Amino acid sequence: MALTTWINTDISDLPLNSSGIEWIEFSEGNDFLIFTQGSDQVKDGENIPTQSELINSGIELTGNQIVLTDYLLQDTSENLLKSIDNMGNLDKRFVLAFDFSAPGTASEPQLLVFDDTNLNTINNTMLGSGTPSASFIRGVTTTNASPGANWITTGTRMAGSSDGNFLNLNNLGGFLTGATTLYCNLAVVVPASQTTGFSANPVFVVKWLEN
């Protein structure tokens, strides 16, 4: 059993391996997702930004809820930023793909998010400062169907491993019986109550039991 993660950097909402659709393999430990308000240096087609450029493209707090609309893949091997146009609060299904090879799994694959690679804390502001229900990161499993309009209202607040705060990527269909591709979408929603700046480098992880 092996897992390959893919990012749809095309404008078309079509599944992995569709003809003419650009899906880029995500290189674990090398590539990154960037949640941003965007700038001239941090946008589609630009080279990988400096730390200063990332800070300058950060989210400007307004006292109102902010639903982020700009999501980028840092494709390190190409030294390029690539827009993930279908990510966010959009009725888009084929955004992140988790491609499992045969022979299947002994449990349902789950997508979780933590503060860092220790995978045991959710203390960062973005993950709710220890309260999963206050996480800024929302997700929805789209393996079986599109999420619907304005899905963030019912999407999962993602933080840690407590029930209800991670994604069951097979839509509660259980373990995988063979080679399977699972899908989800993500969004970042900053609440109006967030009045102080913050930085975060959350770590996403897919967990499952092997046969």
Q: Where are the domains of the chain?
A: 3-207
Supply the pLDDT for residue 1: 75
What does pTM read for this prediction? 0.96
Supply the pLDDT for residue 106: 96
Per-residue pLDDT of the chain in tens (211 residues, 90 and over written 9): 799 999 999 999 999 999 999 999 999 999 999 999 888 999 999 999 999 999 889 888 999 999 999 999 999 999 999 999 999 999 999 999 999 999 999 999 999 999 999 999 999 999 999 999 999 999 999 999 999 999 999 999 999 999 999 999 999 999 999 999 999 999 999 999 999 999 899 999 999 999 8
Three-class DSSP labels, the chain: CCEEEEEECCCCCCCCCCCCCCEEECCCCCCEEEEECCCCCCCCCCCCCCHHHHHHCCCCCCCCCEECCEEEEEEHHHCEEEECCCCCCCCCCCCEEEEECCCCECCCCEEEEECCCCCCCCCCHHHCCCCHHHCCEEEEECCCCCCCCCHHHCCEECCCCCCCCCEECCCCCCCCCCCEEEEEEEEEEECCCCCCCCCCCCEEEEECCEC
